[in-house]
Amino acid sequence: MKKNTSSLKAGLLLIGLSALFTTQACKKNSGNTVSKSLTTGASKNGLTTMASNADLIAYKATKHEISAGFYRVQGPCYGPGVNGSNFSLVPDSLDVLILFCFDKTSPIAGSVPAWVSSLHAKGTKVIVTGNLNIPSGVPHNTAGYQTTAKMIMDSVVNKYGLDGYDIDVESNPSGSTLTDMTGVYTALSAYLGPKSGTGKLLTFDTNQTGTNSLFRKVYTMIDFVWLQAYGRGSSTLQGTWNTFKSYITSTQFVPGFSFYEENGYPSNYWDDVTYPENGTGRAYDYARWEPTSGKKGGTFGYAIDRDAPLTSMHDNTLRVPDYKVTKDLIKIMNP
C-alpha cells in the first residue's frame, strides 16, 4: 500500500496460508455510517472511561466523514515499531484501522485480539489488507472460490476478531485472473460487505480509477473505496471521483494520503504532510475537499504509525506517534 504501483508491496502479507494472503501492492453503507455491530468486552489497557467510550460509539454511529488509517504492523515487511507496534493507541476518534502487512508469525500476533478488543470498546473497526489468491490445490471454480473465502474468514478475520477485509488492487486484471478475483470477492461478500448483513467491511484499496475491471465486477459488494491519491493535488480528486460516481455513492469514496516513511526517501515518498506540522499539505487539502455534489466518505492516511512530531520533511527517525495530523483532519471534516 505504500503506493507507488511498483514498490513496497511486492510480496507482502502472508496471513495464514502464504500463497493465499501475500498482499498485492499497497492501500456501504448507504451513508458513511460505520456499523454498530462491534465486538463487546475489552481489555482495560489504554481505555478511557465507560462514559467516554459510549460517547465515542455514539459518535461513530452517526453519519459523518470517517477517518481511517493503514498501520504498518511488525511482520514480514517491517521491524518492531514504537510502543511495541501497539496499534490500539491510535486516536480514539479513528473510525477504521487497517492492519497492513500483518502475518500470523509476527511477534505481535498474540497481542492482536486484545488490542482489537480495546479498539472495539471505543467503536473503532479493525480490518486487514489481503488479497484474493487461491491456494495451491484449490480448484478455480465456484466451490474453490467459496473454499478460499472461508479460509480467509477462518484463519484471518475470525481468528483475530477483525471487522473486515481490504483488497489491495493496483492492476487491471483480465482473463482467468479477473474471473478468479471476482469469484473470491463474490464469495467473501456472503460474510462481509453490504450484501452480507453482518456489519463487517469489505473494502477496495486502489490507485486505479472507476474503470478498473475488477471494480466494475464487484462494486455492489464494496463498503468503501480507499483511493491511493498519494502525491496528487486535491484538484485531481473530482476527476477521479467522476469515474466512480455511476457505481458507488460519494460517501463510499475515501481519498488517502501518505505519511512520510522513515525508509521512503529518495525513491518512495510523497510529501503529503508538511513538517514540522503546520496545518498545510495535501493531507489537509484532502480533508477540506468535497465532491461537487454530495459529501465524500472521509480520508485515510497510509503509515499512520508515522503520524509523529517529525522535525523535517525527510526525518528518518522512528518517533513515537502523537497523531496530531490525524486529529487535525478529523476536526476539519467534523467540526
- Annotated catalytic residues are 170
Cα–Cα nearest to 56, from 92, 29, 31, 83:
92
In whole angstroms, give the CA distance from residue 141 to residue 180: 8
DSSP-derived 3-state class of residue 253: strand
- Contact at 8 Å (CB) between 257 and 230? yes
Alpha-carbon span 162 to 120, nearest angstrom:
10
Sequence-separated (6 or more) residues with CB below 8 Å from residue 151: 16, 17, 20, 135
Q: How far apart are CA 90 and CA 322, in angstroms?
A: 9
| Cell triple for 325 | 495530523
Beta-sheet pairing, 298-302 with 253-258: parallel
DSSP letters for 67-90: EEEEEE-SSSS----GGGG-GGGS
Q: What are φ and ψ of residue 51, in 5° steps? A: -65, -45
